Structures are given as structure tokens and as C-alpha cells.
Structure 1
Amino acid sequence: MIGPALCLDLTRLLSRVGRGQLTGVDRVERAYADWVLETDTDPRFLVRSSRGYILFGVEGARAFLNALDGKSDWPPPDLLSRLTGKSDLLRHRAEALLRRHAIARCLHANLFRLLSQHLREDTTYLNVGHSNLSEDCLRAFRANPDVQVAVLLHDAIPLDHPEFSRPEIPGHFHKMLTASQDHANLIICNSEDTRRQLVRHMSPDMAFVTAHLGLPDRVEKEPLSLGLDPDTPRFVCLGTIEPRKNHQLLLDVWAMLPESGRPHLHIVGQRGWASEEFFQRLDTHPLRGTAIFEHSDLSDGQVRTLLEGSHGLLFPTLAEGFGYPPLEAARLGVLPICSDLPVLRETVNDCAVYLDPQDAYSWLETIKKRSGDRLADEMLPAAKLPTWQAHFDTVSEALQKARAGDMV
């Protein structure tokens, strides 16, 4: 194991309070929070709040995570929240909770002073959520003696595929990579494919380590309020609705499927950024409500119920850094039908069907054939699933080597 002095940035999770189910990147930061609490007897946590930085310890972290998980309520707003006129927002009630448990607080410009006064010897700062990953923040940590910085980068999609990002994101992402290159001792990659893409944009002299992400604990099934027709095959598409996820292809396919025997398509995920034209098409699609269904607020247990018994998970993504949904489906014995991307072949291996995400005909024919399969008779390949234990073992060893200067 690494040394005991860990400081984990939880800004990403703070930003998600009140915004629905956690995304894949959110779940990674959540897993790291549990690991830090298990690994370090006296850890530190940092968030960049709307009114400055907050540094807190075990008590504050457990209170924050319990409320985030729905095990307790967020507290009433404090005076600062009321003075800023934002007391009705859940995020600002979360900030009030963290201020209550603060070891120290400071304005944004005074982070170095706060860290120099309150960081322990040989601290490792971990930023794993692509939030608060700025030049000012990383420089403040590295300016403190004996502090090392480790950053988990999930992909290079904003630079490799700017068409899948909002206009301002590629420039911001470039600054984030530059800050990481200038100040990080270690770059953690979620896949070898991500590592290959990042090396193209960063110095080859950086210390990289690849550690596949683990899957969250399996949740219990929960009942669905919607009725599932047991006599009609169903497919599930899981993920934020945005251009990169290529939902457009599935709408094209469902329009081409013959009416007789047409399966049901369940699109599960919150609406992200996308063209209004696509949302208009989804909202007015003639099959909406009869063969195409959209779900934006299902719990993890309800998603499991929807996936189990389905004829497949559809994942026609055009670019991915890791890709959780196919692995989650494979764990449940559900066949993933995926885009033929190097990262998905790396993580899902031979447990999926791979198709060209631009070839609607191949998806049409595969879905037609799959709809006629009898699930009770099939035996899918056993999936070799990544674990968080293996991830953290790899990261721990890499952090030790980075501190000793032994990373290649």
C-alpha cells in the first residue's frame, strides 16, 4: 500500500449534487472516495466551492457521501448560502455541510497558503474527476515540498473528436492536459487505448500507468412502474443522450424494422448537450411510446431490472475512453452489441458483438436476428470483469514508484 497521506479532490461529486444519477466519471470519483477512506486513517479531501476552497477530513467526507448516496438529508442552508441568495439549491446545502466540517477554508487565490499550513508530510493529491484540474490548483500543491500529484485522465475525446464537444470544451481540455503535464507526477489511464491517445497530446516523458476501472457493486433489482411486455423482445441503450453516443443510428434502425415483430427500444439516460433537431426527432418519433421508450430517472436497481431479460445492450458510441455499459451488461449475462472500437475490444474482449457504428444496415440485421433468439437457450461467454481491487493495487504500486522516481 502507499503511504498514509492522501488528499482526494471531490469537486466533481460536489458539482453533481441535485443533478440526478451519477455518470461514469462520477462513479470513479465515488469509488476513489471509498478507497481513500479505507486506505488512510486520517485522509484529507478538497473541494472548490462557489465561495472558495474547503479542506475537510473523515467526518466531513462520510457526512457528504452519506447525503450523496441518499442515506441522509442535506442540512438546511447556512448564513453564507442565504447571503448569496442560493440557499434553495441542493449543491449549496452540500457546501454548507462541508463548511460545517471544514478543517480549513480559503478564497480561491489563497490555496497555497491553506495547503502549506494543513497538508501532512508526503501527501499525495489525487484528482480523478476532470474537475478542478487547473494550473492554479496543481501548482499550489506542487509548490509544497514532498507533495506529489496524480491525475486520472479518462479520455482525449475533446481533442481527437472536437465535434462531439461543446465549442468551449476543447480549449479548456487542452489547458487541463497542459496543467497535468506541467505538475503531475503520475498520469493514471483507464485503458491502454486512452494511454495511446494521451501520449499523442502530452510529453512521452510523462509517467503513465494503465489501470482498468472496476465495476460498482451489483445492486438489487427494483420494480419498474412501466409495464414490460414479456412477449416482445426488448433492447436497452444506456448512457447520456449526446451526439457521441450515436442514438441517431438507433432511431434510423427502428424506423427500418418491420412492424411485425418489431422489438422495443428503451433509451436510458439523461439528456446532455445535443442538437435541438435530434431531441425534436426523439420527442416526435412516430414509434415513441409504442416501440421506443425514453427513461431519464431510473434508479440503478431499475436499470438492472430493465437490462435483465433483454435481448441485448445497444452501444453504438462513436468514441469512448472506457465504456461502462457493455461491462455492466456482460456481468448480468446480457449480450452487448457494441461499436467496433479498440477500447471496447480491450475491455469487453470476446463477450460482445462488434459492429461499425456508421453502418445502420449491419445494426438492423443484427437486431432482427437477435430478436428471434431464445434467451433461455443461450450460453454467453463468461466475462472477465475488471475489479476495483486490481485497479487500486496497480495505482498504489505506481504511486510508490513515482514517489521513488522509478516510473519509466
Structure 2
Amino acid sequence: MAGAALCLDLTRLLSRVGLGPLTGVDRVERAYADWVLAVDPDPRFLVRTSRGYLICGADGARAFLQALDAGGPWGKPDFLSRLTGKAANPRHAGEALLRRHALARCLPGGLLPRLSDHLREDTVYLNTGHSNLSEHTLAAVQALPDLRAAVFIHDLIPLEHPEYSSPGFPAHFAQMLTQVMTRADLILCNSQDTAERLRGRFVDAPPVLPAHLGVPAPARPEPLAFDKDVPRFVALGTIEPRKNHALLLDVWEKLPEATRPHLHIVGRRGWADAALLDRLDSHPLRNIAIFEHEGLSDGQVRTLLTGAHGLLFPTHAEGFGLPAVEAAQLGTLPICADLPVLREILGDYAVYLDPLNAYSWMETIKKRSAVSLAAESVAEFRVPTWAEHFRTVEAALWPGRQ
């Protein structure tokens, strides 16, 4: 786009180096990186590292993203990595790569002059990952009169459901959000539901722009060993209390053994109470009718979802609900918690159930297991695209430009 001047914060993606497949929030920042590289001929990228801040250009961002997508190689450790004894740490390997490509480096106290030196007039600072949203960073951006800040808020779950966050995080999130609402010029979010929650909580909020997230084309199927002759359901997402895996374990214990389908739990173990993880590890149906998968590729997830009798999503709270959208894209029925945001995104395509009512889930799963997928007529789901998302964002950032 003519006249686009952008600086994208990549701190979130740096923090994910070495931690396996990208999460939903990570994927948003990754999509924004591609968009920035496409629309701005001379973009800038800000990263907060363990040793201060880096500013990179397009070449540095491309080198970092290529290594991130491929899982390496990151190149030889630099002097600073060796000096701190962290050369073998994946994140520090990512930092070393970025330092090799940096246009500028500074300790926190030098951020404002470095931004002034390296960002063009009318630059928009974009932060889409809930990372590096400190008072120090946002104040430095706000201090430059020709800069604007657009921040993506994915959800308000730590404030609305603190019981589903790790100890201390709700207070940190509240502080971060206060800084954003005070210093940002535009708030981006993933749904009308999230936008309404933000406006209701912050009456003096800057403009809030809802724009549904895009879903890329499905990955190519990749081999994965599992029993294809037994009806299967998939639960996709980080294993944590908010996702309500406990309900699914309850249901599988009560399903009749003779007709019990398989449950495939896909996702890394996040913040979760020890009792849930112990129960999953020691469950009598583990590796018999309940299977846990961590670190699957996108292609393997597609293989597992394609032909499944449903995607089970009994989550207590969501900002968007990407797993359900990805399932719908593949023609797999999402069976979801009855949340406003999921109805907004999925409409009539999903089945909605009370996430506290295990009986309704059990009965739905029993009936669904008996359905012949070959004879089923599946309505086509209109998949939201990144092109639509970015058209909405561009119109808000640069009104009237073509």
C-alpha cells in the first residue's frame, strides 16, 4: 500500500522460539509479519530481548521468520550469547540471529532516541502479541509525535475469568491493559464480542476495531498413526483448565465401552492444575480410548481432523475460537460451548452445548458417533480470510488511501 510505514513488534514470536508449534496468538503475529513485509517496502521490526531492544529491517525479519518456520538453523552463537552462557538456549539463539541483522541495539534507556533515529514519520507501531506492552515501550512510542500505536487485544479472559490464569497474571494483565488504553491510538480485536467487552470495561477507550481473524489454507496432510476404523473426536488446544478437558474425561468414563469412540487430545501442556495432568497421565483409558498428542505438525492435525466425527470444544471462555474455525474449514463438525463469540464466528455451522452439563455432551457424542459421515451432507462453511482482515485494518489505519 502506498505510503504505508509500519513497525511490527516481534517480541512474542521471539519468546516462542524452541517451544513447538505456534499458538493462536502466535499465528496472528506471524500473519501480521507477512502483511507488513508485503505492504511496506522498508518496514521496521522492534524486539525486546533479554539484553535490551533491537530494531531490524526487512532482511532481519525474513531471516528470523524463516528460521522460526523451519525450527532452525539459527546460526552460530554470537559473543554475547557465549558470554552469558546461554548459547544453547533456543530463544537466545534467536536473539543472536536478530542481533546479527539489527539496524540498532540499545538498553532500555536508549529506546526513545533509537526509535526517533530509525522510524519514519507517520509510522504505525503495531503490537499484536500481548508482549512488550510495558509502560516503558508504549511511553517511548507515544513520546514521538509522528508515531501512532495500534495494539491487538485478543481477549479479556484474565480479567473476566482470573481462575483460568496462572497466579499473578491477572494483575499483570490489568496493568498492561491500562497502559494500552491510556497510550494506544487504535485497538484491534478479533471479534465483535471482544470489542463490546472492551468498550464496556473502558468507557474512555481509544477507537476499537473488530476484525475476524483469517484462517490460512489447510496444510498438506501428513502421516499419523491412529486407528481409523473407530469413530474419533478431537480436542484441539493448549491443555489448561479453561479448555475444560476435565469434562471430556468425565464423559469418556461414562460412555458405553462397546461403542466408545476415541478421543484425541491435541496440544501442549500449558498452565494447569496438577490434579488434571495427573488424571490425564494415569487415566485407565489412556492409550486405549483416550490419546494425547503434543507437538503435531499442522499437516498431522489436518489428518486427524479430516474424517473425525467432531471437534470437541467445551471451553469456558474464548476470544475467537480458532480450533473450531479450523475444524469447520475441513468440514468437521465443531461441537462447542455455547459462548457468544463462537456463535458470532460459526453461526449455524456448529452444535452448541452448556460447558457445565456433562450429560448433554455425553448424549451428543453418543448420537454423533453413530452417524455415517459418508452419507452426511455437510454445509459449506465460509472461512474468514486474512485478506478481508487486513482490508479492514488498512481502512482504519489509512482512511481514504487506495
TM-score range, shorter chain: over 0.9
1:83 counterpart residue number: 83
2:7 is the counterpart of 1:7: yes
Give me the whole-angstrom Cα distance separating, in 1, the residues matched to 2:199 and 2:167. 23
Give me the whole-angstrom Cα distance separating, in 2, the residues matched to 1:2 and 1:137. 27
Checking the alignment, whether the CA contact within 8 Å between 1:4 and 1:42 is kept in structure 2 is: no
Q: Please give the secondary structure, in 2, of the residue aligned with 1:17.
A: coil
1:369 counterpart residue number: 367
1:240 counterpart residue number: 238
Inter-CA distance 117–283: structure 2 relative to 1 (3 Å threshold): same
One-letter identity of the residue aligned with 1:123 = T
Per-residue CA deviation, residues 301-327 of structure 1 (Å, 9 max, x unaligned), is 000000111111000000000010111
Give me the whole-angstrom Cα distance separating, in 1, the residues matched to 2:111 and 2:294. 38
1:327 counterpart residue number: 325
Per-residue CA deviation, residues 69-104 of structure 1 (Å, 9 max, x unaligned), is 107511111000011111110111111111000000
One-letter identity of the residue aligned with 2:382 = K
Inter-CA distance 102–319: structure 2 relative to 1 (3 Å threshold): same
Q: Please give the secondary structure, in 1, of the residue aligned with 2:187.
A: strand
1:106 counterpart residue number: 106
Q: Please give the secondary structure, in 2, of the residue aligned with 1:20.
A: coil
Give me the whole-angstrom Cα distance separating, in 1, the residues matched to 2:157 and 2:325. 20
Per-residue CA deviation, residues 323-356 of structure 1 (Å, 9 max, x unaligned), is 1011100111100000000000000111110000
Inter-CA distance 124–330: structure 2 relative to 1 (3 Å threshold): same
2:157 counterpart residue number: 157
- Residue pairs, 1:260-339, within 5 angstroms: 260-339=258-337
Which one of 227, 230, 234 corresponds to residue 228 of structure 2?
230
Checking the alignment, whether the CA contact within 8 Å between 1:315 and 1:338 is kept in structure 2 is: yes
1:208 counterpart residue number: 208
2:19 counterpart residue number: 19
Checking the alignment, whether the CA contact within 8 Å between 2:181 and 2:205 is kept in structure 1 is: no
Q: Please give the secondary structure, in 1, of the residue aligned with 2:258.
A: coil
**What TM-score, normalized to structure 1?**
0.96
Q: Please give the secondary structure, in 2, of the residue aligned with 1:4.
A: coil
Give me the whole-angstrom Cα distance separating, in 1, the residues matched to 2:83 and 2:323. 42
Higher mean displacement: 332-341 or 1-10:
1-10
Q: Please give the secondary structure, in 2, of the residue aligned with 1:313.
A: strand
Gaps of 5+ in 2: none
Give me the whole-angstrom Cα distance separating, in 1, the residues matched to 2:42 and 2:321. 33
1:347 counterpart residue number: 345
- Paired residue total: 401
2:28 counterpart residue number: 28
**What TM-score, normalized to structure 2?**
0.98
Checking the alignment, whether the CA contact within 8 Å between 1:238 and 1:268 is kept in structure 2 is: yes
Q: Please give the secondary structure, in 2, of the residue aligned with 1:260.
A: helix
Inter-CA distance 210–325: structure 2 relative to 1 (3 Å threshold): same
1:406 counterpart residue number: none
Inter-CA distance 205–65: structure 2 relative to 1 (3 Å threshold): closer
Give me the whole-angstrom Cα distance separating, in 2, the residues matched to 1:357 and 1:276. 21
Give me the whole-angstrom Cα distance separating, in 2, the residues matched to 1:331 and 1:36. 26
Give me the whole-angstrom Cα distance separating, in 2, the residues matched to 1:402 and 1:100. 39
Give me the whole-angstrom Cα distance separating, in 2, the residues matched to 1:331 and 1:17. 28
Q: Percent identity between the aligned chains?
A: 64
Higher mean displacement: 112-121 or 70-79:
70-79
The alignment's C-alpha RMSD in Å is 1.3
Q: Which runs of 4+ in 1 moved over 4 A?
A: none
Give me the whole-angstrom Cα distance separating, in 1, the residues matched to 2:125 and 2:385. 23
Checking the alignment, whether the CA contact within 8 Å between 1:2 and 1:399 is kept in structure 2 is: no
One-letter identity of the residue aligned with 2:269 = R
1:174 deviates by 0.8
